[in-house]
Structure 1
Amino acid sequence: KSLLIILAIFRGVKVRRKLRNLSQANTAAVAQQSASRPHGTETQCGAGSSSACGIPKWRRASLVGCSQEAEYPQREAAGTTQKAFCEMVTRELETQMRAALRIQSFLQMAVQQRRFIQQKTAALTLQRYFRTWQTRRQFLSYRKAAVVLQNHYRALLSAQRQRQVYLQIRSSVIIIQARTRGFIQKRKFQKIKDSTIKIQAVWRSYKARNYLHKVKAACKIQAWYRYWKARKEYLAVLKAVKIIQGCFHTKRERTRFLNVRASTIIIQRKWRATLAGRMAREHFLMMKRYRAACLIQANFRRYKRRQVFLRQKSAALTIQRYIRARKAGAYERIKYLELKKSTVVLQALVRGWLVRKRILEQKTKTRLLHFTAAAYYHLSALRIQRAYKFHVALKNANKQVNSVICIQRWFRTKLQQKRFAQKYHSIINSQHQVQERMSQENRAASVIQKAVRHFLLHKKQEKFNNGISKIQALWRGYSWRKKNDCTKIKAIRLSLQLVNREIREENKLYKRTALALHYLLTYKHLSAILEALKHLEVVTRLSPLCCENMAQSGAVSKIFVLIRSCNRSVPCMEVIRYAVQVLLNVAKYEKTTAAVYDAENCIDTLLDLLQMYREKPGDKVADKGGSIFTKTCCLLAVLLKTTNRASDVRSRSKVVDRIYSLYKLTARKHKMNTERLLYKQKMNSSISIPFIPETPVRTRIVSRLKPDWVLRRDKMEEITNPLQAIQMVMDTLGIP
């Protein structure tokens, strides 16, 4: 817009300069008219001189303009030639120079007239110039007032926009502070709650211990007296017990190994006693009984000492927890003050950054405006320099001026104007593109802001709902405990706390997982592998982290190799049953399903199991085979739950044929079992309740098979009916 205003001002200056030149050349035009009248008033010279008289002659030009419009193109050439001839003959060199200048002005005026002759007449053009000059003063005053109004309005808009940005930043900072304070208060409340519960538990245990001390004071005094009396007699044995206790505390995991070694030593001694003879055997048995009695006595004394030590340890831990809680509270207070200071500093930095960004944007806009003005002034200066150079060259070469040179210069001027118009249009197009680009960026920014606000609002609502649900859950738990907190529940809670306190490290899930994976990957004995599979079945059923550890350890491929190496014996069937259950637990977890499916020959191995254990139920072997059959069907259905895997398996025609044949055999066996039960009912007349055979319904229930740690109402247990299990596999694959 500013560039267009500058161009309009430049055109006005140019037109006023032309009008001033025409007024100065008025006298010369009058003399030219007097000289050219003998040649006829209808020539082009007369028309050009009458139209070039300037503003004092504009009424006469408007009157005769309509009559001369048709003859104007023919008169122009003749008038120009006559004028040039008269000027060369009748005037001196100085007069010729002035006449050449007038001819150039007439030619430029003719070019302007030819440009607008298709739309308007020459008289209307002169009137428009005059009216433009007359109304320009009023336009300038209006423009100044409009610029002042625009500046005030833009300042108001920028102030409102900055106010909105400041309010948005302030509201977001207030929300962040509220969330942070709520989180800190909630964490403090949780700590206070935990410490209160612990203090209550300690106080209750303290009251219970006082009661027990009062009831059993005499018993304890007698026990301590006997203990003091017996202590003198068994000092040596007590030293040995202390050594055993130290070894037990430092190497707890060696207990099982020591038991195995003791049993191995007993077997070796028995074998050696058998070889040595009956006398050595009797001596060995006597020594064995003596050692067993010593071991029992030592264990009993160790148990008594351990009870006393555990009581002292629990009291010391309670005191330590209280002291650590006080230290943690002081540390959290210091941390909260530091966080508050850092938040204030961060807010100051963000506000400073926003102000600097706003100042930089204003500077870039001002710099762009200065650059545009400088570019325009540079182009104007280039045009003025070219016009001045053209004038100087024309003045130097005016002695040899002729009509051809004038026509050439007119043509060059035309080309320059054409180039200027092209540059002007290109500048306007670039401005339009820049404005369109800025509007597009503004629209994109508004869309992004809208999406971000929607996301923040959704996140805020979700956090609010989660907080409400947590508060409701805490209140329900508190009200339920307050309503149902009887002596029986307190006793159960105390027993659970005691069990959790006395649990051993080797009984935890991660230890059992590591030990079971070690046994499975290193040992080859069937009993060790069966024990490892039992442990793995428990940990994969209860913990998703154990499922991920098992998938990463490479034990899945080892289990498949173990399944392929087993036969149809009862111990091998037990191993296969636990192995399939472990694989099913791992496959139910979505993050580890791919580890089971990517094992080598996974689908073929499972189909071989289905083919092998498809016997009818009734005996012990068949019952175990039936459970293996149903668990394998569930495992296949879970693995082929996704569309890509199901289509991959459907592309293998042999697999589909095997599943279809298994379905036919299972359906025939189910029909035969139903008929046999109906026949037994008819033969046995003592049964008063009629038997209604179960009809399996084909439904898509694969998605409802979830791990045991997922507590949902629509979760379904594993299928035990063979026909329903094989139908679930066919529905998963999409086999009709």
Structure 2
Amino acid sequence: MFRCLKAYRHHQAAVKIQHHFSATKIQSYFRSWLLRKKFLDQVRAIIKVQSVFRMFRCLKAYRHYQAAVKIQHHLSATKIQSYFRSWLLRKKFIDQIRVIIKIQSVFRKFICLKTYRHYQITTKSATLIQSFVRGWIVRREACSHRNFIVAIQRHCRGWLVRRDFLFQRDAAINIQSVIRSLKRQKTFNCEKEAAKEIQRFVRGHIIRNRLIGASRLHAAIPTGCILKRPTDCYCFQLKLFLYSVLKLQRWWRGVLLFKLRSKCALTIQSHIRGWIARQKAIRDRHHIAVIQSHWKGYLVRKESRGLLLDLRLRMQKSAQNVDDGRRIINRLLAALSELLNMKSVSVTLHTCATLDMTTRHSQRCCEELVGAGAIGTLLQLIRSVSRSIPDQEVSKHALSTLRNLCRYPHLLEMLIDSHGSVEIILWELLRNKEDGYFVASEILKKICSNRKGFEAIRKLPALLKRLSTLVDELTRKTINEKRNPRGLGPAIREHTERRLKDAAELLRLATSS
């Protein structure tokens, strides 16, 4: 109980202390409220004083503003009036300018119309003059061409007439020369006979005189006496006569030789003149033919220019309007995608032949087909074909397509990078004996010319060994065929030699370091 009482007393003391603190706190709050109220009253008074002072200042400023506004209104009215007057002046000036511009436009229109009419008249006159001038030029050129043609024809006719005349003159000269030669020959023969008669008569007379004189001398003169004088006289006369005859004959031979040389010179000159005239006529004819060919070609090109342009436009339009499904590259890609699934050998052969033909003539087709996976498809097709004749044709066209792709270096590298491509082609070379053998040989030669292809072939020692065996076998076969030439035909021997040559060259390329 004591403890409870003690606790109660402590509780009352605590309550008193708490009440004291509460009263103190309330008093402090009240005093602070009074202070705040007093401060707020002072603030309100100050604000009211300030508002009155501001109102006074505002009223003063308003009065000044009204005065300034009046002045501003006056200035604005003055400015508006000045702007209005200037607007009226500008409007009046613009109206005057418009009237002036309209007058000027009408005047310029009149001048332009007059100038245009004069230009039309001038243009028509110039066109008419140009047409007349062009017509005159064309007529002059036509007349000049006609005159040239007439002159050429006249010269040709004159040349023909001169040639005929020269031929006739040469014939007449030849006839006359023959007749003269006959007459001279006849005269010469007559003179020769006369000279012979004279010589015979003179010789007979001399001999008779000698004989008669000798008999007389032998009868009258002694035996030891010799008379030389008359004999010497006769010998001198005989020598003089013979010398005269020889001189006459020499002169006549000289005359005949001169005539023969003159005749030969005339013949040579006539032939040379004829050859020169023929050459000139040939050159003129060639020039005429060249001019005519150029003129005809110009006319043909001029006439065909429009046709070619029309044909080109039609081809471009048809190329633009063609369906994409009908384009050859799209059809080839579609056929390539279905190549391995085709059941008919004839369809497969036709598709491979078409691929071969298109890749032979178009680089774009080669690139598109390679992009569509043609290399893998063709290699798989080559591996899957049998040894029958139709399948061998399919294999040949597939190899030919790969050969066409190998013409381009970037496509050749893609072929080499394809898995098993070199092995498949080399295996096809070893087992094929027909045209596919040579196609595969060309592909492998191109592969060997590339560094990567050479390394890929060197990685196939078993196939290289079989290639070496094939070379040895073909060598023995060629030697046997040469020893027995009658056993086989020349075509078979040539085929074997060609196979041996390709195989040996390929082996050399594949094994060379």
Q: Same fold (TM over 0.5)?
A: no
- Per the normalisation by structure 1, the TM-score is 0.25
Q: What TM-score, normalized to structure 2?
A: 0.35
Between structure 1 and structure 2, the one with the greater Rg is 2
> Which structure carries more helix by proportion?
2
